[in-house]
Structure 1
Amino acid sequence: MSRFVLITPNADFENRLRQAVAGGLQGGVQTFLTNVLPAGPFDLFAQLNQERPEVLVLGPDVPMDEALRLATVLDVQAPDLTVLLVSEPDPAFILQAMRAGVRDILSPSADSDQMRVLLEHACQSFANRHRTEPFQQSDSGKGTVIGVFSPKGGVGKTTIATNLAVGLGKIAPMSVVIVDLDLQFGDVASGLYLNPAHTVTDAVSPAASQDTLVLKAFLTVHPSSIYALCAPVSPVEADFITPEQVTRLLEQLADEFQYVVVDTAPGLPEIGLAAMEACTDVVWVSAMDIPSVRGLRSGLDILRQLDIMPEGRHVVLNMADPKCGLSVQDVESTLGAPVDVSVPRSRAIAFSTNRGVPVLQEARKDPAVKGLNRLVERFSPNGRAKSPRKTHRRVVV
């Protein structure tokens, strides 16, 4: 599907915009290489080879008076469409454009990186206007709550969680939310390159816990068509969030979203245990080293004794490397459980983490991408239809 529509006779600008979209945004671009603008939304949508797009880019080299006229018509007749105008940033003209319904101004000389940032904001604007639309739910009326846990830190748990959320966003756009419950030192915001206006602190407030519409207003939209609820800015705020509040929060989100992905703090803190009890599935993450594997074994033993192990269990071996001295069989023997998904050590993942763009958000070919996609597939409608016995298969590193 083409999320973006561009009208311009300028082929060079079109190439730069396509590079911007290919650099980390989902969806494609449909271009009309002309300076003739449609009369209104009916004429525009009749020429498209799809359902309505999210963002319309006008220019460069289109008549500015015609562009402002079209923006005014679209603002009234198709207000959900985000309109961007390509023009030099003259203050007087910007004010005129905003009054016509243009959401933002893009410089004709902008490079692909600058374009990508502006297009991301445009997609967030589109998603915010659809924030109150009903979310798709499972047959039971509750969403799937997936907790990502690890007794040890440094195993790539947040990387797994953010990529899982982005991957599920492709299956169920705008029906996925990731919650950062590493309340003191959570990294979901940096992992998704977000600067959220609201955090978990706001989401567990009395107003939000009593009104789901208030809660939704505290979610941050990500360009990959998912929502995020990030950890508090200050670690001190974590002391004022209780397990009971976390339980209520996850219950609310499960009522509204098809998938709720929960990133947790290392170990098994009280908040983490409360989250686990609300989960339908748990993804256990271990690195391929003895301390990580033994730590996970100890954690599993404790949870079995406490009898709070969720029915859905998925063991992920992250940063797997056949040259590290351990094999998958060694890991499974120590854990007393099969490894379901193996994610090889990858420079692509390290690079994407530093950029704040999850590797599944981009069209990359990498062995680690295949491993992450296998994890996502376990939660797809087809993957969920398989019996639990068939979903546990030996993997090869």
Structure 2
Amino acid sequence: MSHFLVITDSADLSQSVAYAAGVQIGAIPATPMPARPEELPGYDAERPVVVLDAGPDADAALRLTAGCTAVGMVVVLASEEPERIGFAALKAGAADVMSVYASIPELRASLARADRLATERAYATAGQQGATTEPPRPQGRVVTVASPKGGVGKTMVATNLAVGLARRYPQSTVLVDLDVQFGDVATALGLSPRYSLVDATHGQTPSDPLALKSLLTQHSTGLYVIPGSESPGASEAVGAREIGLLLHTLAGAFRYVIVDTAPGLNEQTLQALDQSSDLVLVTSLDVPGVRGLRKEIDTLRQVGLMLSSHHLVLNFVDPHRGITVKDVEANVGETIDVTLPLAKEVPLSVNQGVPLLQGNGRDQATKQLTHLVELVSADRSAVGRTSRWKGTRG
């Protein structure tokens, strides 16, 4: 646990931070604003985290933020207008920007993020000084949703899985559209994002949590999204290395990282699988779909990427197709975990940009998708953390 210090003239904010942190909090007045980090009583403490109220003097608060960040302190800025100072705060090095009226759960999530960042910086400093202690590994789970061919409902499954997890665990899930050329995650969620996967994998961004923070789009359910590119030619700008760094960084911030991939097994999909803890394979109830699924399973086993934690989803299930679920299981040598019926509700929800699990329907498709959420969340469910990032732009 870090040493927390609150700089504010507001007794309410100081008490709220103390309650959210669950520890004794040192507080000093924000008027006048300290000019340098050396003037703070917690300056020499190990892993110090400063909650700084920018209300009395925003310019002075930003200068102090930059100074604190330069000496390794972690700063969370509080403001009555967090959106107005957000960009300047991130530029100054603030770990987060929150409202002075934030709820206790919001404060707790922000402080948890700051505490983890302070811990990571302490480990990095120890490493530079020759210490051998390894930093804690990311605890979030990367769940890759893949399919052998297109047109089988993979994106529908990925978006519903992500929305279902986001509703079950608020502020805990991010969905990455890794179908760089023809990704439709944004359309399936009814979003008009400002940034895309290309932005999130540019330069040092995929390994920089603060830079990634400003690129996430937030869905109405609380789900965070990194959509695919609008340009099919952008695939050349998204390399496997950047994908690996991106997923590693996101796994350090979210409980669940859902990855919607392009059909087949391209370079980006293989990289995602290499980073994944869970795999969801989707296919359709027809001969080409079943054959493709069997080939994909065989290939993944050959390259050592058929994860032990995996689930098979069979879409467009209909008793009049001449193939049964048992036929599919016999052919691929695996149990089908989720069967999605050929139902009018599914294309209607896709066309409207409203995933089935965004509502409270009782149709069979919704029930089966809910079952998939339960299967994924049940595996190694000891992982428990809400997102470190809040209030991103969409």
Distance 1:340 1:327, change over 3 A: same
Preserved CA contact (<8 Å) 1:277 1:310: no
Q: State the one-letter code of the partner of 1:279.
A: S
Match of 2:236 in 1: 239
Question: Is 1:281 the equivalent of 2:273?
Answer: no
Q: State the one-letter code of the partner of 1:145.
A: V
Match of 1:166 in 2: 163
Distance, in Å, in 2 between the alignment partners of 1:329 and 1:315 is 13
For residues 1-397 of structure 1, the aligned pairs below 5 Å read 134=112, 141-380=138-377, 382=378, 384=380
Give the drift of 1:345. Answer: 1.6
Distance 1:132 1:180, change over 3 A: farther
Q: Give the secondary structure class of the aligned counterpart of 1:286.
A: strand
Distance, in Å, in 1 between the alignment partners of 2:212 and 2:148 is 30
Preserved CA contact (<8 Å) 1:287 1:320: yes
Q: Deviations over 1:97-147 (max 9, x none)?
A: xxx98x9xxxxxxxxxxxxxxxxxxxxxx99x989664699x974111100
Q: State the one-letter code of the partner of 1:359.
A: L
Match of 1:22 in 2: none
Q: Give the secondary structure class of the aligned counterpart of 2:263.
A: coil
Distance 1:148 1:210, change over 3 A: closer
Give the drift of 1:205. Answer: 1.6
Distance, in Å, in 1 between the alignment partners of 2:381 and 2:227 is 31
TM-score scaled by length of structure 2: 0.63
Q: Give the secondary structure class of the aligned counterpart of 1:282.
A: strand
Distance, in Å, in 1 between the alignment partners of 2:112 and 2:182 is 32
Preserved CA contact (<8 Å) 2:285 2:315: yes
Distance, in Å, in 1 between the alignment partners of 2:148 and 2:373 is 22
Distance, in Å, in 2 between the alignment partners of 1:245 and 1:140 is 18
Match of 2:27 in 1: none
Preserved CA contact (<8 Å) 1:134 1:256: no
Q: Give the secondary structure class of the aligned counterpart of 1:299.
A: helix
Q: Give the secondary structure class of the aligned counterpart of 1:291.
A: helix
Q: Deviations over 1:10-53 (max 9, x none)?
A: xxxxxxxxxxxxxxxxxxxxxxxxxxxxxxxx9xxxxxxxxxxx
Give the drift of 1:319. Answer: 1.7
Distance, in Å, in 1 between the alignment partners of 2:282 and 2:340 is 10
Q: Deviations over 1:280-335 (max 9, x none)?
A: 11100011111001001011111111122222110011121122111111000111
Distance 1:183 1:351, change over 3 A: same
Q: Runs of 4+ in structure 1 displaced over 3 angstroms?
A: 129-137, 382-386
TM-score scaled by length of structure 1: 0.62
Preserved CA contact (<8 Å) 2:206 2:243: no
Give the drift of 1:279. Answer: 0.8
Q: Give the secondary structure class of the aligned counterpart of 2:307.
A: coil
Unaligned runs of 5+ in 1: 1-41, 43-75, 77-99, 104-125, 387-397
Q: State the one-letter code of the partner of 2:274.
A: E
Preserved CA contact (<8 Å) 2:309 2:379: no
Match of 1:113 in 2: none
Q: Give the secondary structure class of the aligned counterpart of 1:218.
A: coil
Give the drift of 1:198. Answer: 0.6
Distance, in Å, in 1 between the alignment partners of 2:346 and 2:304 is 35
Q: State the one-letter code of the partner of 2:168.
A: I
Q: State the one-letter code of the partner of 1:327.
A: T
Q: Give the secondary structure class of the aligned counterpart of 2:174.
A: strand
Give the drift of 1:342. Answer: 1.1
Preserved CA contact (<8 Å) 1:175 1:257: yes
Alignment length, in residue pairs? 267
Give the drift of 1:379. Answer: 2.1
Preserved CA contact (<8 Å) 1:317 1:342: yes
Distance, in Å, in 1 between the alignment partners of 2:328 and 2:111 is 45
Distance 1:134 1:217, change over 3 A: farther
Distance, in Å, in 2 between the alignment partners of 1:132 and 1:187 is 31
Distance, in Å, in 2 between the alignment partners of 1:268 and 1:383 is 24
Q: State the one-letter code of the partner of 1:269.
A: N
Distance, in Å, in 2 between the alignment partners of 1:173 and 1:133 is 16
Identical-residue share of aligned pairs (%): 42
Distance, in Å, in 1 between the alignment partners of 2:366 and 2:328 is 22
Preserved CA contact (<8 Å) 2:208 2:249: no
Q: CA RMSD in A?
A: 3.0
Distance 1:151 1:346, change over 3 A: same
